[in-house]
């Protein structure tokens, strides 16, 4: 039982329980039983605004309480407060890890929560299974007073962003930057420099941001990965990702360095 009112980040699969009204809110209650939810798993995840936050997994046939709905977290990305989205993303990754590690990947035995830590222990062979993080490189490529932006098939219509891709076994993140740019648009880059990072719940990524300088080659989008790519100046940008994304932070930083206001 929770000792005080807490924020409950309840997931049914990839869908988060939120109120139907705006702005986007998650339920605040002393216990999920007050919401009438069939809870399969819960885990406390830090504090937000003076309230404890809990990651909650509910059954696949769970019905939302009156005035609430289960919505896909991706769809909420454009409407949520940044701190709330980050906490929801953390909750989603923990719930997803628990749901996909009920059996051991080594011997097939059943697992159980390990006492005192965020881990699932195999009851047969004893192997410990911790939440997985998948590092991904995201890069803003500069070419003089222009930057490279691209549209991927999964983006909303007309939206452009920087390039990104997962790190492969045996390579550094800097090597992944060079490889991904070459594979996705056919050009070469150098001067790969760290910008910042952001956890990303799609489904368990850590986005590690870099800048890089164009050195040669013609833009040739990789079929199936990139639908269009081009060079853009700070005063002539296409529709961009929301500001709570690291991609937008990188683009806004470029705009500021060009002496312009990214808010305009």
Q: What percent of the chain has pLDDT over 70?
A: 98
- Which residues constitute the domain of residue 194? 134-257
Mean of per-residue pLDDT scores for the chain = 93
pTM of this structure: 0.88
User: For residue 11, which of 73, 84, 75 has the smallest C-alpha distance?
Assistant: 73
- List phi, psi (to 5°) of 43: -150, 130
Same domain assignment for residues 89 and 138: no
Q: Does 231 fall in a domain?
A: yes
Q: Residue 51: give its domain's CATH number.
A: 3.90.79.20
**Same domain membership, residue 236 and residue 158:** yes
CA distance linking residue 105 with residue 99, whole number of Å? 13
Measure Cα distances from 80 to 16, 89, 206 in Å.
Answer: 12, 11, 19
Regarding whether 177 and 76 lie in a shared domain, the answer is no
pLDDT in tens, 130-143: 998 999 999 999 99
Q: Do 165 and 52 share a domain, yes or no?
A: no
Same structural domain for residues 182 and 83? Answer: no
Cα(172)–Cα(189) distance, integer angstroms: 15
Nearest to 221 by CA among 157, 161, 152: 152
- In CATH, what number is assigned to the domain containing residue 230? 3.90.79.10
Q: Give how many domains the chain has, as a whole number.
A: 2
* Cα–Cα distance, 10 to 95 (Å, whole number): 9
Would you say residue 54 has pLDDT above 60? yes
What is the C-alpha separation between 26 and 259, in angstroms, rounded? 39
Mean pLDDT value across residues 189-200: 96
Beta-carbon contacts of 172 under 8 Å, excluding residues fewer than 6 positions away, are none
């Amino acid at each position: 039982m929770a000792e005080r009112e807490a924020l409950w980040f309840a997931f049914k699969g990839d869908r988060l329980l939120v109120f139907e009204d705006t702005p986007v809110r998650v339920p605040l209650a002393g216990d999920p039983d007050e919401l009438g939810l069939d809870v399969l798993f819960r885990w406390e995840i830090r504090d937000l605004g003076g309230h404890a936050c809990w990651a909650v997994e509910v059954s696949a046939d769970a019905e939302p309480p009156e005035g609430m709905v289960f919505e896909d977290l991706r769809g909420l990305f454009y409407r949520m407060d940044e701190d709330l989205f980050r906490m929801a993303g953390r909750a989603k990754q923990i719930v997803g890890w628990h749901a996909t590690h009920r059996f051991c990947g080594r011997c097939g035995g059943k697992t159980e929560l390990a006492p005192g830590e965020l881990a699932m222990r195999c009851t047969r062979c004893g192997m410990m299974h911790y939440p997985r993080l998948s590092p991904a490189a995201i890069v803003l490529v500069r070419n003089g007073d222009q930057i490279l932006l691209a549209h991927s098939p999964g983006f909303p219509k007309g939206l452009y962003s920087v390039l990104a891709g997962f790190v492969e076994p045996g390579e550094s993140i800097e090597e992944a930057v060079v490889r991904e740019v070459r594979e996705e648009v056919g050009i070469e880059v150098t001067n790969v420099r760290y910008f910042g990072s952001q956890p990303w719940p799609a489904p368990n990524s850590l986005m590690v941001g870099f800048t890089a300088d164009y050195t040669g080659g013609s833009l040739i989008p990789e079929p199936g990965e990139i639908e269009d790519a081009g060079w853009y100046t700070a005063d002539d940008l296409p529709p961009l990702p929301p500001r709570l994304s690291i991609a937008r932070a990188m683009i806004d930083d470029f705009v500021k360095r060009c002496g312009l206001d990214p808010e305009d």
